[in-house]
Structure 1
Amino acid sequence: MTSREHRLPGFIELAELGTGAQGEVVLARHESGGGPVAIKYLAPGMLGDTAARNTFRAEAQMLKRVTSPHVARLLDYLESPWAAAIVLEAVAGRPLRKVLDEHRGALTPEAALTTLKGSLLGLAAAHAAGVVHRDYKPANVLVQDDGQSKLIDFGVAVLTGRSGDISGTPAYMAPEQWAGAPATPATDLYAATCVFVECISGEKPFRGTTLDALKADHTNAPPPLDRVPEVLRPLVERGMAKSPADRIWDAHQFVNELETIAVRTYGPDWERRGLLALGAIAATVATAIPLAMLGGALLAPGASATAAGTIGSGAVGYAQGAATADFLGKTGTTATKGFLAKVGGTKGAAGIGAAGVGAVIAAWVLWPSGPGVGGESRGGIHAYFTRPGALTGQPHMPASDTPYMDLLMTVTPARVKPGTNLRLVEQFRARTPAGAKYLPGGRRQCFGEDAKRDDVVNQYGFGWYESDAPSDDSDKAFLAFYRVPPAKPKELPTGPGAVFVQAESKKTDESQPYVAADCAFQSKWTQTFTLRVPGPDVLTPGTYLVSTFAPMQITGKREGVSQEAMGTVNEGSAPVIEVLED
């Protein structure tokens, strides 16, 4: 474990994700709040090594150049005489290496093709920025529960055409890597095809057990086409051609050829089936840390788990987190009622957070224990869409670009009596894509917040728009209390029976810009609700779930499109309080 003087100040470490001779990676969050991040530290013993520092800094510079939902994104790079750290988004996923090892067999063709497509899109973004990964392998691909994947670890990446040391993993190294020639995009596509062969057949392409044997196989042996379904052999034959000139150089072209074959062979629904199959396998694989610790990442499969906005200097124009909202004042609704996010008709409004997506809550917490008034309870909700294209009118929109909302609620005290002053602080983060057009393969073109085009993201909304709160008090704030039972502490309360208590409400720290790097509005604010706990004629002693709206459910809205078609998902749980006898 790296000593404290070599750590970034202000971060609370949650878990160790990995360690090695060159450093370690930890899961952390900023003490001011927000979602988790992954921090990669250079080992203290290497801080005095100029070459090691340069290599570490070069990795951050490579990541800075790459922006894609299929690549784990850089949030910041920080360096001092005493420390060097790369701050990355935390991804709730499992290494493809572990998925394949525990699955112990071939993936379905659709799942294997889905894996290849996701990797190709990540590599395409890197290549577009002039970066060659050089070490694509299953250990550097994270698979999420929805089957989407992200490419990680650019530690040995170089700019296109530059040579370097012979880097890579022998089982997946292209012939030119063995020869020490400069890396090119074709080098990465060779490795991606090798991994595809392993996914589709359950075995690495070549079975050599020594470096000499593997070098001979990759340099001279033909691709193992006999282990690949006949219809997919042209992809493998071109992807693993011995000469880079005979391979597909353009990752997007590779995706196009892949999709043509996949649709013709497995039908237009092949990718959905592939994502479901891959996600189902990944979900059975244990992770090194509980997924609940990953906060926002857990909440939005396929979406990143990192902060809304940049951390520190924000080396990349990076924003994650929020969905944008059409301002409520334009419709006469309040923060406790009505639709919260809307694109189309009127301009969206959004905010960018300084440190992270409001971490959404898998369980409620009460502390300290004791019989009297006191303690704190937390809860929250995260809403997103597994098929966001149905909501936004963009059929090629990837799940990772989903609109979403995060609400983190903290209630104090958690044990109350009649007359107790109760306070609920709600931190809101949201993202509403706008002005984007998605091309086949999920590639995004951004035309900006004022785009006047019919073919971009438009005319949709999402939020809570059905409220059980008293309809004659639309300008007043309420908190909803659900008695337990029948409400269940670890489930979002969506049924009838809430008791509404009027509260004072104040909104602060509101920020809502359009972030061009995300082609989306970003929203952030804090809303504080205060009330005096009423007597037993309103809230009888017992346990209650508390929410700022009821039912505690967020839905999408687009004319003629059902929630099922959008893949609407709500995750989290409400804060829990106990009303004591007076």
Structure 2
Amino acid sequence: MLSKVGGAKGAAAICGLGAAATAATVLLWPSGPKVGGRANGTYVLSFTKPGVLLGQPNMPAADTPFMRFQITVSPARARPGTHVTVVTRFNAKSPFGVAYSAGGQRRCYGEKNHPAGVAKSYNFGVGQDDGTKVGKNQGTAALFPIPPNLPGTVPTTIGRVIETAHQVSGNHQPYVQSECAYLSTFVLTDTFTLPPSRVVKPGKYLLALSNSPRITRTSRNNVDLPPASAGATATGTLPVFTVLKN
């Protein structure tokens, strides 16, 4: 994903003590987990030093560009062969055509006709190029094992890629003068059939569409910048997806 700005269960009645004892043993024996459930997670990508990205040293951190991903996966517990749906609601704010005075006051020049010193374009990308080739209406999801990854964190590692059928709906990305930014919203719907256990081992995973779900590249006016230089950060949680044994 790339944000480019300027230029994104009863039991039967029984008789007899012996039978009762046996039945109690059966009823209290724990049953295995079943396919089903739903898991949610929300994480946000932003910058603690957005002025580096936009070339505006006085830009407040509160005005940072951001991407928010609200993810729902169902079923959250699945066996090989299960059909899984991942819905990701995306919204973002991408300031543009803006300058800041030494005191941090914002001046908005709008979508066009910017003076010198205002970034003509900038972009920040999410995920790595893992070599997976996808065509129209195709996508990928990534599974990050727990452990080493932990719930409540956004993985820094590369996950196990699963190819998906991919659709985008409700795509709106207007420039809003009062915000001096592009405000983007859309919904991503990805579906896949869980592969055999020899491909995806049973266990618990964090799930996202991006691999990894962090800002991995940034640039301004077509010049690459290290994401760390702009304080690229990821906060929030990913949904927990459980792969059951056959």
Q: Does 1:531 align with 2:192?
A: yes
- SS of 2:57's equivalent in the other structure is coil
What corresponds to 1:394 in structure 2? 56
C-alpha spacing 1:467/1:571, structure 2 compared with 1 (3 Å): farther
- CA drift at 1:490: 2.5
Deviation of residue 540 (structure 1)? 1.8
1:441-456 to 2 correspondences below 5 Å: 441-456=103-118
Contact 1:418 1:534 in 2 (8 A): yes
Divergent runs of 4+, >6 A: none
Say which SS state the counterpart of residue 94 (structure 2) adopts.
Answer: strand
Matches within 5 A, 1:376-395: 376-395=38-57
Q: Could you say what the CA RMSD is over the residues aligned between the two structures, in angstroms?
A: 1.9
Deviations 1:218-261 (A, max 9, x none): xxxxxxxxxxxxxxxxxxxxxxxxxxxxxxxxxxxxxxxxxxxx
Q: Distance in 1 between matches of 2:118 and 2:148?
A: 44
Give the distance between the partners of 2:215 and 2:144, measured in 1 at CA: 17
Distance 1:560 1:533 in 2: 37
Task: Give the equivalent residue in structure 2 for 1:464.
Answer: 126
The letter for the 1-side match of 2:176 is V
Asked if 1:542 is matched to 2:203, the reply is yes
Match of 1:149 in 2: none
Match of 2:16 in 1: none
Structure 2 counterpart of 1:451, which letter? Answer: N
TM-score between the two structures when normalised by the length of structure 1: 0.36
Structure with greater helix percent: 1
Report how far residue 474 of structure 1 moved: 5.9
Listed as ranges, the matches of 1:402-441 within 5 Å are 402-441=64-103
Structure 1 residue 571 displacement after superposition: 0.9
Cα offset for 1:562?
3.0
SS in 1 for 2:53: helix
1:484-563 equivalences under 5 Å are 484-496=146-158, 498-555=159-216, 556-558=218-220, 559=223, 561-563=225-227
CA distance in 2, matches of 1:494, 1:386: 18
Per the alignment, residue 572 of structure 1 pairs with 236
Output the CA distance in 2 between the equivalents of 1:539 and 1:560.
35
- Asked if 1 retains the 8 angstrom alpha-carbon contact of 2:96 and 2:180, the reply is yes
Q: In 1, distance between residues paired with 2:238 and 2:182?
A: 26
Say which one has the larger Rg: 1
Counting only pairs closer than 5 Å after superposition, residues 203-242 of structure 1 correspond to structure 2 as: none
Larger strand proportion of the pair: 2
Corresponding pairs, count: 219
Q: Distance in 1 between matches of 2:191 and 2:133?
A: 21
Shift of 1:457: 3.6
Counterpart contact for 2:127–2:211, Cα < 8 Å: no
Q: Between the two proteins, what is the percent identity of the paired residues?
A: 37
Q: Cα deviations across residues 193-222 of structure 1 (Å, max 9, x unaligned)?
A: xxxxxxxxxxxxxxxxxxxxxxxxxxxxxx
Closer, same or farther in 2 for the Cα pair 1:507/1:484, shift >3 Å? same
Unaligned residue ranges in structure 1 (runs of 5+)? 1-334, 350-369
Deviation at 1:401, TM superposition (A): 1.0
Is the 8 Å Cα contact of residues 127 and 214 (structure 2) preserved in structure 1? Answer: no
TM, length-normalised to structure 2: 0.82
Q: Distance in 2 between matches of 1:508 and 1:341?
A: 17
Structure 2: distance between partners of 1:538 and 1:472:
18
> Can you list the C-alpha shifts for 1:487-544, whole angstroms capped at 9, x where unaligned?
2222212213x22111111111111100000100010000011111111121121111
- Map Cα deviations across residues 134-163 of structure 1 (whole Å, 9 max, x no partner): xxxxxxxxxxxxxxxxxxxxxxxxxxxxxx
Which has the higher relative contact order, 1 or 2, with Cα contacts under 8 A spaced 6 or more apart? 2
| Structure 2: unaligned runs, 5 residues or longer | 9-31
Equivalences for 1:280-429 in 2 at 5 Å? 335=1, 340-344=2-6, 346=7, 371-429=33-91
Offset of 1:380 from its aligned partner? 2.8
| Partners of 1:374 and 1:534 in 2: CA distance | 17
